[in-house]
Amino acid sequence: MNKGVPTGFSARRTPHTNTRVGSLILTLSVDLQSLMSLGKSYPWPRPPCCPRCEGRRLWGHGYVERYFDGYDERLPMKRWRCVECGAVHTMRPASHWRGFWATIVLIMSSLRAKGEGRRWLSQVARQRQQYWWRGFQRQRRVAGAAASLNDLQAQAVIVATHSLRYRRLEPLPHDPHRIFAATTPTAMS
């Protein structure tokens, strides 16, 4: 479990050019079929605090639409904005990496098959799988030529991405802590 992330959520830090406003992807188990039928009425859970600064005031910040394999239309992903640090947090299914339409399981199956010398998977376009393979080769060169799929996953690397800047799934830098406020009765004179 990532440090600094509320229970039931998993966070992936996405670096941002502005240090005050960081985009953070909160992953959780989402039923994409229900999301498709309910749309913006889907009951997204509100994080109990900001995973970045642990502020308690998170406001709904609209929706951003994303494509996923098997769905002809874009699906709305809920966003939250922290009033205290200005970070915008986007909800995302835990089954998908940032920037990919295909599930992690499908991508990993394709890469494992190719790594074992087998043919590309028949249910996915060859060109997509080649893109994932080239991304894996790039991440492998960065990590060291002997790095395997399992090694890269253990290092929290998005193994199929071509990005070198946003290649890691980084845990948050600090543990969550509760904020307590106490008031004491004052003596009346």
Question: Quick one: pLDDT at residue 21?
Answer: 43
Q: What percent of the chain has pLDDT over 90?
A: 24
The set of long-range contacts for 142-148, using a CB threshold of 8 Å and a minimum separation of 24, is 142/167, 148/115
Tokens of 24: 């953070």
pTM of the model: 0.70
Nearest to 68, CA basis, from 32, 117, 42: 32
Taking CA atoms, 163 is separated from 14, 17, 48, 77, 148, in Å, by 12, 15, 31, 23, 18
pLDDT at 62: 92
What contacts 24, CB < 8 A, 6 or more positions away? Answer: 11, 12, 13, 14, 51, 52, 87, 88, 89, 90
Tokens 């959780």 belong to residue: 28
Range 28-40 average pLDDT: 87
Those residues with Cβ within 8 angstroms of residue 159's Cβ, 6 or more apart along the chain or in another chain: 107, 108, 111, 135, 136, 139, 149, 152, 153
Q: Are 4 and 54 in contact (CB under 8 A)?
A: yes
How high is the pLDDT of residue 19? Answer: 41
Task: State mean pLDDT over 153-179.
Answer: 62
Residue 93 tokens read as: 């299914």
Give the model confidence (pLDDT) of 105-155 as tens digits. 999 999 999 989 999 999 999 999 999 999 888 888 888 767 788 778 777
Instruction: Please give the pLDDT value at position 166.
Output: 62
